[in-house]
A and B are shown apart, each in its own frame.
Chain A
């Protein structure tokens, strides 16, 4: 079936550096993608989203890039901080407002 997956299970970065988390998706019919942050023992927290008719969207310190040609999604975090340490999931929304989550990437920020 359709799935959303990630390339890297763990990403370790130095505080202050930029982080890039990647995601590959397979459902070409999806038109809406979301990035979530999940801290240990908590529910997912919305970070940023993007529609398929866009290739880039910026938020505060975060940028999401969408490449529909290769079905690739990335989350860029600028000036990564210790508070950014968490597991990050991409999710794909389909008809019926259902979400399919990727496998997750753990971001570890070294002080």
Chain B
């Protein structure tokens, strides 16, 4: 149980284009979803937190107009990287939680490798 999927698993796009990444909780309803970014040989850095039906909360330094997050249902959140540039190339990982506040576990997706050329 508690499976989270991401699509696509990898994507290559040209500079200036936009890319959408999907995160789905397959066997549970995710009240909260989180988006992380991980550069090579570095740790996961939280980008934003989203609750179903609400606007996402972005971490300091993350541009909300560049990284659009939509959490339209309890099983799907999307991250759109707009006007992508080579420096946006990274490993994007989502996690989903069935609960809010303390006690809510986070279940991680397999990640999406984005390469911007």
Contact = CB atoms under 8 A, between A and B. Distances in A.
Interface in B82-117: 91, 93, 95, 97, 99-111, 113
B111 A102 contact: no
Nearest to B2: A46
A89 B111 contact: no
B54 interface: no
Which range contains the number of A residues in contact with the other chain? 20 to 34
A96 B99 CA distance: 10
Contacts of A95: 101-102
B41 to A, nearest CB: 8
Nearest to B4: A43
Nearest to B49: A98
A41 interface: yes
A26 interface: no
Interface residues of B, number: 28
Contact of A32 (B34, B91, B102, B111): B102
Interface in A73-111: 89, 93, 95-104
B93 A98 contact: no
Looking at chain A's contact residues, the main secondary structure is loop
A46 B45 CA distance: 17
Contact of A43 (B49, B99, B110): B110
A45 B42 CA distance: 16
A36 B106 CA distance: 11
A105 to B, nearest CB: 11
Nearest to B104: A97
Contact of A99 (B4, B106, B111): B106
A16 interface: no
Nearest to A96: B101
Interface of A: 31-32, 36, 41-46, 89, 93, 95-104
Given A41-B113, A44-B108, 14 more contacts: A32-B102, A42-B110, A43-B95, A43-B110, A44-B44, A46-B108, A89-B44, A97-B97, A97-B99, A97-B102, A99-B106, A101-B45, A102-B43, A103-B42
